[in-house]
Amino acid sequence: MRVILLLIVAIGLGSCGPRAAGPGPGDAFRAIEHADLSRRVAAPGASTAQFFVAPQSLHETPLITPPDASAELTEARTVVTVHPMPDDIDQPRVRYDTPVRDDPLTDTRYRGPLPDATPESDRLSDAFREAYLTNSIINRARADVRAADEDVAIARSSGRPTLTLGASAGLQSERDINVPTLSGSGSLTDDELSASVSLEVTQPLFRGFRTRNATRSATAGVHAERERLKATQQDVILATANAFLDVRRFRRGEALREQEVAFLHEQVAAAEARLRYGEGTRTDIDQAIARLGEAQTLLFDEAAAARAAEARFREYSNTDPGTLRLDIDVTKLMPASMSDAVRTGLARNPDIAQALHAVDAANFEVRALEGESLPSVSVSGRVGLDAGDSSADHTESAEVRLNFSMPLYQGGAVAARVRRAKESLSGARMDVDLARNRTRSDIASAWSAYQSSRQSVAAADASIGVARRAVNGLLEELRVGQRTTVDVLDAQRDLIRLEILRAGAERQRDAAAFQVLRQIGELDPAALGLGVPAYDPEEHYVAAKDRWSGFRTPSGS
């Protein structure tokens, strides 16, 4: 029995003996060959790319994804990596958890709900439609047009009759002192009550053509305000388009930077693995970590720019940016040549049209002021009733008068106003030249930017393909020891830079095209095919210009 117990104890002690020796230098590549391929991250757009993968460490701990990150990680591949550093390297451990999207250039999903729920715009046409209907800048300009309509009614009122009703009542008391009486002298008081009512009407017959010229000036001012409204609407649509393009551009940049950060995390892990198995140096790790910090900084910048662009988009369209699909091919709306664009712009630019109407308004204003030195003719009638205490004191009256007045000297005020109006007319004519010159300049500038951006996009597309092949080739050469870590890092940096340059060139191309459309007056709902009811200022104008009375506006306010 004792012998059996001794044998059992001996077997137990043998099972607690030392394990086999740890991995040697030659095991590094075997560990890489058997590593989990799910932890590999490809360069942006690359189909096949291989990385050195850090073997599982005894010191690794599972990374817990916060609950609020679930929405961010939905429908995205997630890289979860913990990179332990060797004990002899005084560096913090790097932990990373980020989605890596398969196609960052087309992924523009909105990243979370806003505190105040507002509708989303998934297409550019949706954003244009909401901006046209709800933007406060446009609504303010429409109110200015409606206010200008009332200037026509004001001008016409000077040729209409005026009626004045007057009424008065009073008590007159007279007291005579030392009036002789039978008993001596005394005082006598006489109280008299009187009242009067009158109705007077005056009809101007001739006012030196002031009514006609003032009405024409006000009408020209209405047309100028309408053109300013068109310009404002197109400016808001242009600003919405630029904000839309900015959001797409910076979201693309953010996705590219996220992918670059994930790539550099894997490079840090690969450098650590090579150092652990004696195949690399501390310098490789430092270089990878330095590039990682740079990439993270650039990622933060892109994210901040994307959030700012989203805020601008929300300001103009009153909607949140959704997937942002560019459903309007602005390049197909471009004129055939710059000369065609200039010709169309000079004929249809709302800024030029506004300046021309302003010249008409100033010209009629001069004529209206000159009419103040001409004679005036009017006819007036008056009926009245004066009543006293007794029926004998009642007096009725009626009269009709033809009035004529001819100003001879007015202290120089009228002449000064005429001279000032003529100088304003000269300035308005100069504004037309300025608007035309500005239109030519803006079209030329936008057209040049459009053409150069198209070439930049084509050049970037060709360079990106070459850069991707270079990254893949360098990764293969690094694996067999023919390239260094810094070679791979430089190639990856060049690839990301080209991708971001390409996104910026695409944004610049579309923005320049929208600018050309704005200058030729084609950035309106009808030309863009938005299918939204157009605002008609004529309806309010017809309702307001001939109104004789009433404090309520045609809209009921």
Q: Which helix (H) or strand (E) holds 528?
A: helix 525-528
Distance CA 488, CA 475 (A): 6
- Is residue 492 a contact partner of residue 257, using CB atoms and an 8 Å limit? no
Element (H, E) at 247: helix 210-276
Is 441 a residue whose pLDDT tops 70? yes
Say if residue 207 is exposed, middle or buried (CB neighbours under 10 Å; 0-12, 13-18, 19+): buried
Q: What is the pLDDT of residue 481?
A: 79
> What pLDDT is stored for residue 514 in this prediction?
96
Cβ atoms within 10 Å of 532's Cβ, excluding its own: 15
Name residues whose C-beta falls within 8 Å of residue 81's C-beta, 6 or more positions apart in sequence: 39, 54, 63, 94, 95, 96, 265, 266, 269
- Whether residue 454 is predicted with pLDDT greater than 50 in this model: the reply is yes
Structure tokens that stand for 100 in this block: 């890596």
Mean pLDDT on 267-271? 89
Count the alpha carbons within 13 Å of 208 in the hemisphere toward its beta carbon: 16
Residue 52: pLDDT band (50, 70, 90) is very low
Q: Which residues pair with 173 in a beta bridge?
A: 191
Q: In 3D, which of 219, 201, 207, 200 has the Cα closest to residue 159?
A: 207
Helix (H/G/I), strand (E/B), else coil: 383 = strand
Cα gap 455→448, rounded to integer Å: 11
Residues 86-108: tens digit of each pLDDT? 333 333 333 333 333 334 333 43
The pLDDT score that the predictor gives to residue 48 is 35
Single-letter amino acid, residue 308: A
Q: How many residues does the chain have?
A: 557
Query: Each residue of 467-495: pLDDT tens digit?
Result: 999 999 998 888 887 888 888 888 989 99
Using pLDDT thresholds of 50, 70 and 90, give the confidence band for residue 74: very low
Instruction: Quote the tokens at residue 35.
Output: 């590593």
Q: Which helix (H) or strand (E) holds 382?
A: strand 376-387
* Dist CA 75 CA 72 (whole Å): 9
pLDDT digits (tens, 9 = 90+) for 368-377: 999 999 999 9
Task: Write the pLDDT tens digit of every residue in 128-176.
Answer: 999 999 999 999 999 999 999 999 999 999 999 999 999 998 887 777 6
What domains can you pick out in the chain, each with its CATH number?
Answer: 120-177+186-545 (1.20.1600.10)
At position 126, the amino acid (one-letter code) is D
